[in-house]
Amino acid sequence: MPVTLVNPMNETVVKAEPAPARLSSLQGKRIALLDISKPGGSIFLDRLEGVFRERYQVAEVIRTKKPTFTKNAPDEVIEGLRGVDAVVEALAD
Amino acid sequence: MIEQGEIAPNFPARETGKATLLVFFETDCPTCQVTLPYLNALKDSVKVVGISQDDETTTRQFVEQLRIVFPVEIDRGLAVSRAFDPQSVPTMFLLDKSGRVERTAVGFDKAALNDLATTLGVPPIASEHDGAPAWKPGCGSRHLEVEATANGDGPHTVRFLRVAGERASRSTLNEGQDAEEFCMRHFGDALPVVPPTVERVEKMLSACGQAPETIIGRIPPFYGEATVEKIAANAVMAGCPPEMMRVLLPLVRAVCDEKFNIHGVQATTHFAAPLVIINGPVRQQLGFWSRQNTFSNVARANSTLGRALQLILLNVGGARPDGIDMSTLGNPGKFSYCIAENEEENPWEPLHVARGLSREQSAVTLFGGEPPRGVSEHNAQKGKIILQAITRALATVWSYRACMVFEAVVVLCPEHVKTLHRDGFTRQQVRDFLFENTGIPLRYYRDSYDDRGEGTQMTANYKEIMIDGEPCYRKFLAPESLEIVVAGGTAGKFSAVIGSWATGARGSQMVTYPIPD
């Protein structure tokens, strides 16, 4: 008698989103820096902001922050990222 | 929604000329589960009527499990809900004798419940320190839900989370194919499992009486739908007996409680793993072990329940230890981390009672914790000296100079409890003593130590106190940061401290859920 097993794994269908095209240049672009609220994240992002402005002439750097690193970013944080050309997220520690 | 001052629409069990408190609820809403038992205390002052938005079977189970003593009516077709139009549940409408809405209350709110009691001329019904939060928002009212459909993502479609999923897929093995080997390759973790055959899963399902497609929760980080059937399949793999479904369903609900934040507990690099603590009569009924070796491989119930939870988190939630679960060193509790409280050796109130449930109620509590660290104190003649030994272990929770943002479970062994009880300590006094006497000497933060080490940069938030004549920073935020559990064998003076992961609203908070009888 053949054995039939019940699948115990996640079978929830998740809609895949294609990754956006990579930027060919940072010049004149709007870049968001997302701090996840871990110690040290702001140190890394401060330095990155300086590099973006001085070396790559980005048009605008938008700084935003998750209220806590332990949870997903709330909708308002995600909404605040709309319209930028790229986001850099600092995982930190 | 019908507002204050309006005449209420008709509802079942209406009695003209009698003040009535109507409460709309859903059986699977954690906030409703917390709120409704409080209303039992009002039944002699006002006619209380529950309006269930669910079917008769689940409503009956809800009423029995939570020991609801006032009448509950089924809102067939949600007609009453549409007429009153509460936006969320629980929502309460207090109607005066003429049927006019005198006041409304939404969600779980201790202040509002006590105001309601005052209006009815009875003492407060929600104590500040009964273990329940001061406030907890409810769930969307059933009559506003729209079932998600496969093609329902159009721009004008409101999309709500569905309450039933698909049946699990099946794999029929070839003649001679080894089922254990197949499972090792496709399911689970590094340990062998019991193959979840259709027959074994059916036995699990028939023990719980719930539809296999019912979604009990969505497990982070992938938010996989934990249907009753998926839970049953993982329970089979862990070696659970079918009766364990009774514990597993509330356990999955608890682990998905937003307060517990399993998303963070699963994905952190820290040691945290969900510690399951079992209380109440279910310990004897299903064989949960609370005595010697309670943290170990001593009883099928403890070992398989903890293992089933881990398999569900792994298989349905996707937190694979070789993938998205990035814990630096891990935790042996990720094989299984389940204890029962030794209530028989506990002269005080057990954990679930301290957290607002009745002693006769079975309960499951979850705590995102490190592995236990032992505290030996065999020579002390006084309870105070035992507690001082425990404060030294508590002082090292998370990191020795980090204060105020971490919590701990203190597992007291029966011999230590005996001495503490003999010396007149109550459970709360144990908490208070540990809170008052756990601190980090200020000298650890002096200039010579100013190395920007962990915990040294937040001292503006710390509170300075004196402990044994030495200035210290207080380690914990409040006595409630420490939870007391009695467990273990009656021989040996070893207690344990289990440090938390990040806590409070920004981390993981302990949750307690009732287990049905």
DSSP string of B381-410, one letter each residue: -SHHHHHHHHHHHHTTSSSTT--SS--EEE
Q: Residue B277 forms beta bridges with which residues?
A: B339, B365
B294-331 exposure pattern, b = at least 16 Cβ within 10 A, e = fewer:
bbeebbbbbbbbbbbbbbbbbbbbbbeeeeebebeeeb
Cβ of residue B177 closer than 8 Å to a chain A Cβ: yes
Domain annotation covers residue A3 = no
Rounded Cα gap, residues B292 and A43, in angstroms: 49
CA–CA distance, B90 with B436 (Å, rounded to integer): 38
Kindly list the residues from chain B whose CB atom is less than 8 angstroms away from the CB atom of residue A14.
222
Q: Return the residue of B nearest to A5 by Cα.
A: B197
Q: Is residue A8 part of a domain?
A: no
Structural contact between residues B290 and B341, judged by C-beta atoms closer than 8 angstroms: yes
Interface test with A, best of B159, B169, B205, B311 (most A CBs within 10 A): B169
B324 touches chain A (CB under 8 A): no
Give residue B12's pLDDT: 86
Count structural domains, chain A.
Answer: 1
**Domain range for A79:** 30-90
Residue numbers in A near B507 (CB within 8 A): 68, 70
Q: Where do the structural domains in chain B lie, given as residue ranges?
A: 20-144, 159-168+178-359, 371-499
CB of B191 within 8 Å of any CB in chain A? no
Integer angstrom CA distances of residue B66 from A77, B89, B421, B507, B514: 39, 17, 31, 28, 8
Is residue A2, in this structure, part of any structural domain at all? no
Q: Which two tokens stand for residue A91?
A: 């995982």
Segments in B293-335 forming alpha helices (H): 300-315
What is the spatial order of strands in the sheet that B20-25 belongs to?
Answer: B72-74, B47-52, B20-25, B91-95, B101-106
SS3 B240: coil
Q: Is the pLDDT of residue A62 over 90?
A: yes
| Single-letter code of the amino acid located at B406 | F
Looking at CATH, the fold of the domain delimited by B20-144 is given as Glutaredoxin (3.40.30)
Could you give the residue ranges of the DSSP H alpha helices within chain A? 41-56, 75-79
Domain assignment present for residue A78? The answer is yes
Cα(B167)–Cα(B181) distance, integer angstroms: 24
Tell me whether residue A45 is in a domain: yes
**Predicted local distance difference test score (pLDDT) of residue B351:** 97
Enumerate residues 6+ apart whose C-beta is below 8 A from B268: A70, B326, B327, B501, B502
Bridge partner residues of B373 (DSSP):
B497
**Six-digit token string for B109:** 């709110």
The answer for A 3-42 residues in CB contact with B (under 8 A) is 3-12, 14, 39
Domain assignment present for residue A59? The answer is: yes
The alpha carbon of residue A27 is apart from the nearest alpha carbon of chain B, in Å, by 34
ipTM: 0.83
- Contact list in B for residue A6 (CB cut-off 8 A) is 168, 170, 196-198, 201, 229, 232-233, 236
Contacts of B182 in chain A (CB under 8 A): 5
> In this complex, do A7 and B170 lie within 8 Å of one another by their Cβ atoms?
yes
CB contact under 8 A, A70 and B508: yes
- CA-based nearest residue to B12, from B50, B64, B38: B50
Whether residue B459 contacts residue B473, with contact meaning beta carbons closer than 8 Å, is answered with: yes
Position A43 in a domain: yes
Give the pLDDT of residue B253: 94
Per-residue pLDDT of chain B (517 residues; tens, 9 = 90+): 988 999 999 898 888 888 999 999 999 898 999 999 999 999 999 999 999 999 998 899 889 878 899 999 999 889 999 999 999 999 999 999 999 999 999 999 999 999 999 999 999 999 877 777 888 899 999 988 765 333 334 443 334 567 888 999 999 999 999 999 999 999 989 999 999 999 999 999 999 988 999 999 999 999 999 999 999 999 999 999 999 999 999 999 999 998 999 999 998 999 999 999 999 999 999 999 999 999 999 999 999 999 999 999 999 999 999 988 999 999 999 999 999 999 999 999 999 999 989 899 999 999 999 999 999 999 999 999 999 999 999 999 999 999 999 999 999 999 999 999 999 999 999 999 999 999 999 999 986 666 778 898 889 999 999 999 999 999 999 999 999 999 999 999 999 999 999 998 889 999 999 998 8
